[in-house]
Amino acid sequence: MILHRRFSIIVEPAEGYDFHLTARAYALPGEYDGVKARIPIFEKNSLAIAEVTCLSDGKLSVTCYSNTNIEKSFVEEKVRHVLAFDEDLSEYHAIIRGDPVLNAISSKFKGLRMKGVSNLWNAMLIAFCQQNASFKQGWRMYRNIVYNMGLKVGLEGGISVFVTPSPAMVVEQGLAKLREQGLGYRANYVLEAAKVFVEEESFEEKLSEVDVEAYAAIKKIRGLGVYSGRLALLLAQRRYSLTPLDRWTIRILSEIYAKKRLSLTEAEEEAKRLWGKWSGLSVYFMTIVLDAEVISKALQRIAEGRVEPSLCGVLTPMTLWQYSW
């Protein structure tokens, strides 16, 4: 499929915003290449890719490629949602200044924002792949789904981009194909989730209307527990107050902050005490500054004061775009 160039717009980010830091985070090859970010956008029967470049004056150029005509305002809003280019985090930066893990986000990496995803289905795929998996394992699974089950589209006069398979594409390809991607037990859950999205076309829209505890509404997705559900909503809807707690995060909260062993409930209370309505965002940034290392190495890095992300030389959330495995 070839997507044709439709239009370009210029948007102005907030002062201090760092496009390249934000765009490279958790980006697969092609989603970011060191110069441009490419954001898939889905709207009913339309598929678009927004190609974003930072200009010399700091403004962002957004060029839209799509298979049908699509509204400029819709594309701009999706790019704003994913890249958070006009988001003000001054309140949050004040809270984490001096934090033993997150301080760099308030200083050297102040221009970094959380890179979201354009829809809930995509976020759920990421969340399923992160269940009981290391950073490398989880993102290899997700990469396999995108590259082996997704759609390869060409941009008019430009490169080809792999796009996450739609729920209907996953249902059509079936369980055997999912298992080939190394998902293990997760394959059954991903297929069931895809069926829910196919059968309930307004599922995501309904979910966006519920309150901050929205993860409770997605319990109909079998296998999507509290951690995965909150992670999906954090990425897809920027619900920063939802804390996706797994064993990794609980260990850090226990050993670095509370200085005692915490239960799941106690860990959530500690996160709220530390970061308030920004607790989910803090978990995201912890994975960035600690390179999503396994917990033993993450704790060692904190003890040694090495709490800044690696930008080259090793596979991390910030260098994922450079590796194709």
Give pLDDT tens digits for 174-184.
Answer: 999 999 999 99
Q: Which residue has the tokens 């160039």?
A: 5
**Prediction pTM value:** 0.93
- CATH code 1.10.10.10 for 120-236: no
Burial of 37 (0-12, 13-18, 19+ CB in 10 A): buried
**Pairwise CA distance, residues 283 & 289, whole Å:** 10
Strand bridging mode 36-43 / 2-11: unpaired
Does residue 125 register a pLDDT over 80?
yes
**Pairwise CA distance, residues 218 & 240, whole Å:** 17
**Pairwise CA distance, residues 88 & 148, whole Å:** 38
**Pairwise CA distance, residues 29 & 319, whole Å:** 10
- The residues, any chain, with a CB within 8 Å of residue 300's CB and separated by 6 or more, are none
Q: What is the pLDDT confidence band of residue 319, given thresholds at 50, 70 and 90?
A: very high
Give pLDDT tens digits for 213-241.
Answer: 555 566 677 888 888 888 999 999 999 99
Give pLDDT tens digits for 2-23.
Answer: 999 999 999 999 999 999 999 9
Strand bridging mode 160-163 / 151-155: antiparallel
Q: How many CB atoms lie within 10 A of CB 302?
A: 18
Indicate the average pLDDT of the chain.
93
Q: What is the pLDDT confidence band of residue 321, given thresholds at 50, 70 and 90?
A: very high
Q: What is the pLDDT confidence band of residue 199, given thresholds at 50, 70 and 90?
A: confident
Say what the pLDDT of residue 200 is: 77
Q: Which residue has the tokens 């530390």?
A: 274
Say what the pLDDT of residue 226 is: 83
Query: Region 99-126: what's the mean pLDDT?
Result: 96
CA 24-21-214 angle, to 5 degrees, is: 75
Say what the pLDDT of residue 204 is: 63
Distance of CA 111 to the CA centre of its chain: 17
For the sheet with 36-43, list strands across it.
36-43, 46-54, 60-66, 2-11, 151-155, 160-163
Residue 148 Cα distances to 153, 162, 251, 256, angstroms: 13, 9, 35, 40
Say what the pLDDT of residue 212 is: 47
Give pLDDT tens digits for 52-67.
Answer: 999 999 999 999 999 9
Say what the pLDDT of residue 157 is: 85
Between 43 and 254, the more confident residue is 254
Query: Region 24-42: what's the mean pLDDT?
Result: 96
**Pairwise CA distance, residues 236 & 145, whole Å:** 18
The domain limits of the chain are 2-87, 120-236
Q: Which top CATH class is 2-87?
A: alpha beta
Paired residues of 3 in beta bridges: 155
**Pairwise CA distance, residues 84 & 52, whole Å:** 13
Q: What is the pLDDT confidence band of residue 203, given thresholds at 50, 70 and 90?
A: low
Coil/strand/helix, residue 70: coil
